Amino acid sequence: MSIQIKYYLVAADALPEIFIKVAEAKRMMQTGEADTVGAATRQVGISRSAFYKYKDAVQPFNDMKAGRIITFYAMLKDNTGVLSSVLSIFANSGANILTINQSIPTNGCAAVTISAETSDMEETLEALIAEVSSAPGVVKFEILAG
C-alpha cells in the first residue's frame, strides 16, 4: 500500500506559527542573513529539531511556482481589448504564455484559461494575480492548476 503525498494551498494566517518560522529560517539561509541552521533558528525563535522536522514539508507558494506551468482561469467581459490587456500584463511580468483557450462569450462574458511558464517571472505570482484581477473588464481571475 503506497501513501500518496497531498499538497494543500493554505493562507499563511491559518498556519501554525511553527510553519511560518521554518519558512522564514529557510529564507534567511537562502539570502545569507543567516550562515547556519543554528543561527537562523535562533533568530526566528525555534529549535533546530523543529526546523529539521518541517524543513522539507514547508515551502512558500511563491518558491513553488519557479520552473512550473501554471494554468489560470479568467472570466472576462466581452469588450474590445480586455483579453489583450490581460496578455500584456502577463508579458510585462516575464511569464511565458504557452496556451490560451477562450469560450464563446455568453451573457456578456467569456471564460478564458491561460497556461504559462513562470520560471522567468520578474514579479511575484501574487503581484501578477492582483494586477490582472484589477484590470478593467476582468470579472474573476484565479489559479486553476499548477
pLDDT confidence of residue 6: 66
pLDDT in tens, 78-99: 999 999 999 999 999 988 999 9
Instruction: Count CB neighbours of 93 within 10 A.
Output: 20
pLDDT confidence of residue 45: 96
Per CATH, the number for 69-145 is 3.30.70.260
C-alpha cell at 131: 494586477
Could you state, in order of their start, the residue ranges of all structural domains in the chain?
12-59, 69-145
The identity of residue 114, as a single letter, is I
pLDDT at 5 over 80: no
d(CA 131, CA 125): 10
pTM of structure: 0.56
Position with higher pLDDT, 4 vs 33: 33
* Exposure on the CB side of residue 52, measured as CA atoms within 13 A: 6
The pLDDT mean for the chain works out to 87
Position with higher pLDDT, 30 vs 111: 111
pLDDT at 16 over 60: yes
pLDDT confidence of residue 76: 96
Q: Which distant-in-sequence residues (6+ apart) come within 8 Å of 49 by Cβ? A: none
Closest C-alpha to 63, from 13, 97, 29, 33: 29
pLDDT at 67 over 60: no
pLDDT confidence of residue 145: 77
